[in-house]
A = this chain, B = another copy of it.
């Protein structure tokens, strides 16, 4: 065998012992969330009806590292550490001097990075004596991860699944049920929010969130769980970047640029934050590149404002780039990237110029995904296909400049449940929506009357 190593593996004893809390390293003072009614800064007591205190403490913690509980590390061992690959076949295919590495999170049982936080949230809720977690899911990645995590910690799990996905993508529903979860088609008749929306039978993520939050707030033994955006969710995902840093050392390289796709921001943050900290502390230099869909260009075209996290306006307002909380993105297949806002921590880094954002069209991302699958084998989910599109751009730039470049990107999930989209792409029938000026005007007009941001 040649010396062309393609996989860099860690043993389960090397699962990191702490999460990286970037909050303390961020430039400037963090902008507090605002209470949705009073518009005054919201504090921990506002969150106790739906989150356990352990997670609320993580949400606002000033500690630079937070220890990972033993039981969480035990559960992580079922699939972690995840492999780091050197994409040698893709490099040859692109005829580039760049070295391309990818951290593959698709080896988890639900097939994405989402269980990194689902496990941590299930554990913290179980420890607090909560008996049931309730959440919403669109295409099903987050709902699957929470169902899996609940099955490991003996919690009941209820998932409100957007009606159109429930009808069109039954296999993610079956997956959740196999792990013992109860899945409701949203809008349901189980909640006031659902009953009020029976005229919209296909549902929306906003309606599903409202249903889940309503159930969690109304039952003593039940909490809510969110799969992205919040500080504690990003925190849990930093296990990805910490492993990747060790694996890049095994490969004898350091990334020049770290690339990830962004929906709510937890995948991007998970891979990049451990590297971002080193840059913020002046220990090294590195670029960071966030890839998002042109159909939902939050970071590249959104306004930096206080806005609600959900469509119905039930959550605290957060300081972030936003297209407006009632913006409904076109139905691109990267369902995980169809979010009107982004994690406040990530938005702050974009605002500060540390993270560059680029938007890509649906067809060019699928072309990149097919190119990747035919060289590296793995069929990517549509979300990380955006990162692959950006990576190809970087690799081609390196070739044109005739210079080496070390690229690390996050392959945050496989596409086994997205092959209908590949089908449409290969048949030349995939739509290619873009965000219009009119969309932007409507988005800005709908922003809440919260304090403007500098």
Contacts and interface: CB of A to CB of B under 8 A. Distances in A.
Contact of A175 (B7, B111, B148, B419): B419
A4 B4 CA distance: 33
A376 B178 CA distance: 12
Interface stretch (A50-58, A69-77, A202-210, A251-259): A69-77
Nearest to A1: B73
Interface string A106-122: 01110100000000000
A393 interface: no
A138 B100 CA distance: 36
Given A9-B11, A171-B420, A370 B1 contact: no
Interface residues of A, number: 48
Given A111-B416, A374-B180, A416-B417, A6 B12 contact: yes
Interface in A319-354: none
Given A78-B6, A151-B374, A178 B1 contact: no
Contact of A419 (B4, B151, B171, B420): B171
Nearest to A173: B423
A244 to B, nearest CB: 17
A178 B12 contact: no
B374 A170 contact: no
Interface in A1-34: 1-2, 4-7, 9, 11-13, 15
Contacts of A374: 151, 178-180
A74 B422 contact: no
A81 to B, nearest CB: 9
B9 A9 contact: yes
Given A9-B11, A109-B378, A178-B370, A170 B77 contact: no
B377 A78 contact: yes
A79 interface: yes
Contacts of A13: 1
A177 interface: yes
Interface string A416-430: 110110110010000
Contacts of A79: 377
Greatest chain B CB density within 10 A among A77, A376, A378 is at: A77
Contacts of A196: none
Interface string A158-182: 0000000000001101110111100
Contacts of A175: 379, 419, 422
A195 interface: no
Nearest to A423: B174
B419 A174 contact: yes
Contact of A377 (B152, B171, B377): B152
A74 B89 CA distance: 11
Interface in A70-97: 70, 73-74, 77-79, 89
Nearest to A106: B107
A373 B179 contact: yes
B12 A177 contact: no
A416 B172 CA distance: 9
Contacts of A420: 170-171, 174
Interface of A: 1-2, 4-7, 9, 11-13, 15, 70, 73-74, 77-79, 89, 107-109, 111, 148, 151-152, 170-171, 173-175, 177-180, 370, 373-374, 376-379, 416-417, 419-420, 422-423, 426
6 contacts: A4-B74, A7-B11, A171-B419, A175-B379, A178-B426, A416-B417
Given A2-B70, A2-B74, A7-B12, 6 more contacts: A1-B13, A78-B376, A151-B377, A175-B422, A178-B373, A179-B374
